[in-house]
């Protein structure tokens, strides 16, 4: 069903307040709900967790599994348009919803992002338009394909084709023997082997595309990962070269157009050595939703990624986001509640909150916690957005914040 304009604060044909729905009740759903409510919309969340971060804030929380027919019927009854906060929502559920209500992004777009092989094929199809290709790779669906893997793809990274995120479902392999063992370790499911490249940096691009085909892009983000999970994002002049930023943005726009995408889309890239003393860009993966690396937009831009998500879903005009402050985003993972930091000298067996008072005493520090009731290692509990008038000031404040948290220092 096609999208139509849903004005903030208006009522539907049934007389109820215009309501925007979201599949998934995690932190991304929570921040979508906050943005939608700030603009005057009612919200509904479908998530099985009784204490889901988004469900705790929403007007309506439908507590069922994502494929539950009654739950989907309730969501359709409540909502005028529906989005998703993560790509592993069952695509058939989005098909069901899309037959009765506007859904953005579409089930087709989400299905591509759910399957690394389909995603790679999409990137390859876009390469003639964007000039940016994925890493050399091969599908491994059976023993014959495993045996036929070209030798020049090793060393590489073996990734499950489905249900991999934050470094899960990935194994580094250097030899054919290691590759065979890794495939067995992953359950001999369909995988993709990607050639390891001389990585220099990682970056990502957020775009918002409306149903009318209009696309706006956010500034390019430089990302640092630790053990497969995003640790921090830097967004300011010089964080990514202007030439690479232009190519990454053009590539992301092409990827969105080729999918006829509607919504907020994030595409991640590797910056690699080109073998001639320069740098090249490799497209890695996409997320059909707002992204962890885009959280800085809440405090450093005049339109956040979540406001853009609301606009695309409601059919409102898109304006080009303007970044008004250099920014650094720091991910707050659950281990911070247990590990020693600058205030707590020793690790604790019981969770202890990080030193919020000292952090908030720093200029330009904005704390965002997700309302999760318990901390555990690896769990995303919140983030810090740090803004300042200059690049030097934001880096200095970030360095102090990282020290207080006991986290690694910024790269030079």
Sign of CA dihedral 373, 410, 395, 405: positive
Which pair of tokens denotes residue 186?
């992953």
Q: Which pLDDT score, from 0 to 100, does residue 277 have? A: 78
Q: How far apart are CA 388 and CA 76, in angstroms?
A: 43
Q: β-pairing, 42-46 with 19-23?
A: parallel
Q: How far apart are CA 351 and CA 349, in angstroms?
A: 7
Tens digit of each residue's pLDDT (9 = 90 or more) over 239-279: 999 999 999 999 999 999 999 999 999 999 999 988 787 89
Q: Which pLDDT score, from 0 to 100, does residue 165 have? A: 61
Q: Following DSSP, what letter does each residue of 218-238 receive, concatenated?
A: PPPEEEEEETTEEEEEEESTT
Nearest to 25 by CA among 371, 366, 377: 371
Lowest mean pLDDT among 32-46, 95-109, 283-297, 341-355: 341-355
Q: Which pLDDT score, from 0 to 100, does residue 181 have? A: 95
CB atoms within 10 A of CB 127: 16
Is residue 113 within 8 Å of residue 120, measured between CB atoms?
Answer: no
Going from the N-terminus, what domains does the chain have, and what CATH number goes with each? 19-103 (3.40.50.20), 136-195 (3.30.1490.20), 199-405 (3.30.470.20)
Tens digit of each residue's pLDDT (9 = 90 or more) over 197-231: 989 999 999 999 999 999 999 999 999 999 889 99
H-helix or E-strand spanning residue 207: strand 199-209
Q: How far apart are CA 380 and CA 198, in angstroms?
A: 29
Averaged over 306-320, what is the pLDDT?
Answer: 97
Averaged over 121-148, what is the pLDDT?
Answer: 94
* Omega before residue 197 within 30° of 0, cis: no
Q: How far apart are CA 170 and CA 164, in angstroms?
A: 8
Which pair of tokens denotes residue 298?
């809440």
More confident residue, 73 or 339: 73
Q: Which pLDDT score, from 0 to 100, does residue 19 have? A: 97
Confidence of residue 167 (pLDDT cuts 50, 70, 90): low
Lowest mean pLDDT among 148-162, 164-178, 313-327: 164-178
Q: Which pLDDT score, from 0 to 100, does residue 333 have? A: 97
* Omega before residue 125 within 30° of 0, cis: no
Confidence of residue 166 (pLDDT cuts 50, 70, 90): low
Q: How far apart are CA 339 and CA 347, in angstroms?
A: 5
**Rounded percentage of the chain residues whose pLDDT exceeds 90:** 86
Tens digit of each residue's pLDDT (9 = 90 or more) over 140-160: 999 999 999 999 999 999 999
Averaged over 130-143, what is the pLDDT?
Answer: 94
Q: Which pLDDT score, from 0 to 100, does residue 343 have? A: 79
Nearest to 306 by CA among 290, 320, 321, 324: 290
Q: In what order do the strands lie in the sheet with 60-62?
A: 60-62, 42-46, 19-23, 81-84
Q: Following DSSP, what letter does each residue of 398-411 receive, concatenated?
A: HHHHHHHHTPPPPP
């Amino acid at each position: 069903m096609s999208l139509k304009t849903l004005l903030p604060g208006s009522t539907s044909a049934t007389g109820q307040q215009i309501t925007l729905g979201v599949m998934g009740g995690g932190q991304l759903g929570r921040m979508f709900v906050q943005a939608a409510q700030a603009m005057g919309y009612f919200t509904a969340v479908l998530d099985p967790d009784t204490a889901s971060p988004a469900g705790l804030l929403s007007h309506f929380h439908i507590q069922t599994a994502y494929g539950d027919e009654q739950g989907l019927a309730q969501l359709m009854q409540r909502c005028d348009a529906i989005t998703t906060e993560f790509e592993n929502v069952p695509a058939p559920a989005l098909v069901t919803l899309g037959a009765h209500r506007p859904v953005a992004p579409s089930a087709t777009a989400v299905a591509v992002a759910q399957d690394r092989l389909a995603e790679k094929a999409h990137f390859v199809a876009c390469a003639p338009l964007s000039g940016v290709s994925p890493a050399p790779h091969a599908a491994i669906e059976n023993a014959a394909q495993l045996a036929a893997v070209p030798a020049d793809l090793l060393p590489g990274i073996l990734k499950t084709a489905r249900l991999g995120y934050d470094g899960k479902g990935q194994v580094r392999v250097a030899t054919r023997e290691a590759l065979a063992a890794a495939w067995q370790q992953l359950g001999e499911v369909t995988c993709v082997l990607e050639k390891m490249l001389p990585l220099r940096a990682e970056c990502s691009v957020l775009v918002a595309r409306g149903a009318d085909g209009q696309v706006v892009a956010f500034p390019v983000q430089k990302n640092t990962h630790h053990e497969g999970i995003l640790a921090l994002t830097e967004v300011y002049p010089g964080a990514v070269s202007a030439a690479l930023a232009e190519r990454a943005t053009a590539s992301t726009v092409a990827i969105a157009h080729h999918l006829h995408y509607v919504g907020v889309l994030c595409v991640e890239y590797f910056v690699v050595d080109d073998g001639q003393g320069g740098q090249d860009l490799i497209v890695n993966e996409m997320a059909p939703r707002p992204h962890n690396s885009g959280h800085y937009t809440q405090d450093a831009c005049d339109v956040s990624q979540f406001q853009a998500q609301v606009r695309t879903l409601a059919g409102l005009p898109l304006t080009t986001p303007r970044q008004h402050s250099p920014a650094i985003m720091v991910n707050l993972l659950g281990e911070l509640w247990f590990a020693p930091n600058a205030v707590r000298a020793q690790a604790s067996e019981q969770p202890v909150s990080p030193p919020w008072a000292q952090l908030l005493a720093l200029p330009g520090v904005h704390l965002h916690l997700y309302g999760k009731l318990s901390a555990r290692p690896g769990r995303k509990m919140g983030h810090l957005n740090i803004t300042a008038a200059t690049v030097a000031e934001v880096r200095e404040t970030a360095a102090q914040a990282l020290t207080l948290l006991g986290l690694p220092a910024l790269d030079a």
